[in-house]
């Protein structure tokens, strides 16, 4: 393998498998910091709002300890993703994205009037990030052509639009919770 091919492969793996978890890690860390109370920012470490024990501890030490911990965590998973064999790297990338998406969802759920819909949009974003990472960064594609490719394009896309529209209405359209 030439040096150019190796660099290209590392860049491709970084963009495809490392960038999505890095973005969700950064979003999670940002919301964790911005979600802290005024008392916390006035130096009262007892007012830390964080459910993860390690991140709670680091926030109680100091916000800079939390940021350093997150940077260290990001460095660890990036190096692991670059070193692992393909399938294991894909699994780790997905689990890190989903883990941080869960952390982000925990912050968002109660911050917005329509938190449920915002969280569903977040999970859609996570799926897009993972899907693009696999497809673009990993250059993976489908092995078989679906049977529906024989359906006339107008009917196929009409059906897709109607069904996706129904899913958007059910899961993403803002509506208050009935009490």
pTM of the shown model: 0.81
Assigned domain for 22 exists: yes
Assigned domain for 107 exists: yes
Assigned domain for 149 exists: yes
Assigned domain for 56 exists: yes
Name the residue with tokens 């009409």. Answer: 158
81-114 burial, b if ≥16 CB within 10 A, otherwise e?
beebeeeebbebbbebbbbbbebbbbbbeeeeee
Assigned domain for 179 exists: no
Q: Residue 55: give the domain boundaries.
A: 3-171
Query: CA torsion, points 70, 74, 77, 83, in degrees to nearest 10?
Result: -150
- Look at the chain and report how many structural domains it folds into: 1
Residues 75-130: pLDDT tens digits? 999 999 999 988 888 999 999 999 999 999 999 988 888 888 999 999 999 999 99
């Amino acid at each position: 393998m030439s040096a150019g091919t190796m660099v290209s492969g590392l860049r491709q793996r970084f963009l495809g498998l490392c960038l999505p978890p890095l973005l969700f890690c950064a979003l999670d860390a940002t919301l964790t910091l911005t979600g802290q109370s005024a008392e916390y920012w006035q130096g009262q470490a007892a007012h830390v709002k964080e459910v993860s024990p390690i991140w709670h501890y680091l926030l109680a030490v100091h916000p800079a300890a939390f940021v350093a911990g997150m940077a260290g965590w990001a460095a660890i998973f990036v190096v692991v993703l670059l070193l692992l064999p393909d399938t294991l790297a894909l699994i780790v990338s997905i689990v890190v994205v989903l883990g941080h998406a869960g952390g982000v969802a925990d912050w968002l759920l109660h911050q917005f009037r329509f938190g449920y819909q915002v969280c569903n949009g977040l999970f859609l974003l996570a799926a897009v990030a993972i899907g693009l990472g696999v497809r673009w960064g990993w250059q993976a594609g489908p092995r078989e052509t679906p049977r529906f490719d024989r359906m006339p394009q107008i009917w196929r896309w009409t059906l897709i639009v109607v069904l996706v529209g129904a899913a958007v209405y059910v899961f993403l359209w803002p509506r208050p919770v009935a009490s």
